[in-house]
A and B are shown apart, each in its own frame.
Chain A
């Protein structure tokens, strides 16, 4: 049963992801964490950290990890989790890939048509909101701890601010940000 739900969910996620990995993150958060509860908010944040550190498309990485965790969290053994991860990755690419092969050539000719351009523009605007919602959804207790003058919260806010500035102003590569924040966490929470 969970395999069927997993397949269907990632099929839909793949078909409705416009504008790259970050919008897929928003969709996966909505479905996998929000709707189905296959993963906790904490696990989802950890997944994002992991999928930014490993090679490959973020969308595939997220689907693979989510598929595995969803199945194992439902009480199945590890090998079933591996099947789940392959199923989720397959489901997430199959509709877009079919579209690319079936209508790619036609679209290449008509991509500058004004009506299509307007639809794409509105979708792209909405996707900005999708990613914003994903970021807001992550700003909870699982990422920062309980708000107040406690060590966890203060350290977390400092790391967030530093990471934000490093990425936004200085265009530091996400992998260095992940590495540095991991070290910062290890040091700050060990002393």
Chain B
């Protein structure tokens, strides 16, 4: 049974429209749609897709959509999944961006955002610690994140350069290290 384009589109539209808080928050809903409801893949295949989408560069949710759509119906399947996934969020953000430019000077909006800004800093600061845990930061490798942060923050080095350097450094290190582990 081949999946219909409109089913692919609709599934990812729901996933994109009903999750707040980013790509990883979409995993449970994706699992329900792709594995349980449409049976497009097994549980294990789904977990493999999740792992791979995380390892690839880019936006996690869009990678998931591309991979699933492509495996189901080729390039157009991928297109249907991606457009479905991002359609509602993009419209939402555009409306907000326009609203924002009009009401930015409004005293009430301004006060609300004065309160939001320090909270946003916390929302970005906390993931540093949770990501440090999942990246398995130890005393012997903590210099990598610290040096990266300081180079960007104090010296204004572009994060892109840091990612490139990390990839290159990791590759060189993997050549030196014997593969016993």
Contact = CB atoms under 8 A, between A and B. Distances in A.
Interface of A: 12-27, 29-31, 34-35, 42, 45-46, 48-61, 64-65, 68-69, 72, 78, 81-82, 85-86, 89, 92-93, 95-97, 99-101, 104, 107-108, 111, 114-115, 118-139, 142-144, 152, 155-157, 159-161, 163-164, 167-168, 173-175, 177-178, 180-186, 188-190
Contacts of B165: 126
A184 B136 CA distance: 36
Given A22-B131, A131-B124, A135-B128, A104 B52 contact: yes
Interface in B73-123: 75, 78, 82, 85-86, 88-90, 92-94, 96-98, 100-101, 108, 111-123
B152 A133 contact: yes
B47 to A, nearest CB: 11
Interface residues of B, number: 99
Contacts of B169: 122
A25 B120 CA distance: 12
A23 B147 CA distance: 16
Interface string B1-36: 000000000000000111111111010000000000
A190 B106 CA distance: 13
A132 B21 contact: no
Q: Which of A72, A97, A177, A189 has the most CB of B within 10 A?
A: A97
Contact of B125 (A17, A45, A135): A135
A18 B160 CA distance: 10
B86 A89 contact: yes
A4 B61 CA distance: 26
B159 A30 contact: yes
A185 B145 contact: no
Interface in B30-64: 48, 51-63
A152 B114 contact: yes
Contacts, number: 384
Contacts of A22: 124, 127, 131
Contacts of B120: 45, 48-49, 52, 138, 143, 178
A136 B16 CA distance: 30
Contact of A128 (B48, B137, B153): B137
A99 B67 CA distance: 10
A188 to B, nearest CB: 7
B100 A89 contact: no
A116 to B, nearest CB: 8
Secondary structure at the B interface, as helix, strand, loop or mixed, is helix
Interface of B: 16-24, 26, 48, 51-63, 66-67, 70, 75, 78, 82, 85-86, 88-90, 92-94, 96-98, 100-101, 108, 111-129, 131-132, 134-137, 141, 144-153, 156, 158-160, 162-167, 169-171, 173-175, 177, 179, 181
A133 B149 contact: yes
A158 to B, nearest CB: 8
B163 A177 contact: no
Contacts of B147: 129
B78 A24 contact: no
Contacts of B86: 56-57, 60, 89, 93
A19 B86 CA distance: 19
B58 A92 contact: yes
- A-B pairs, top 10 by smallest CB distance, nearest first, are A185-B115, A56-B89, A96-B58, A129-B148, A122-B170, A181-B119, A126-B166, A129-B145, A133-B152, A163-B122
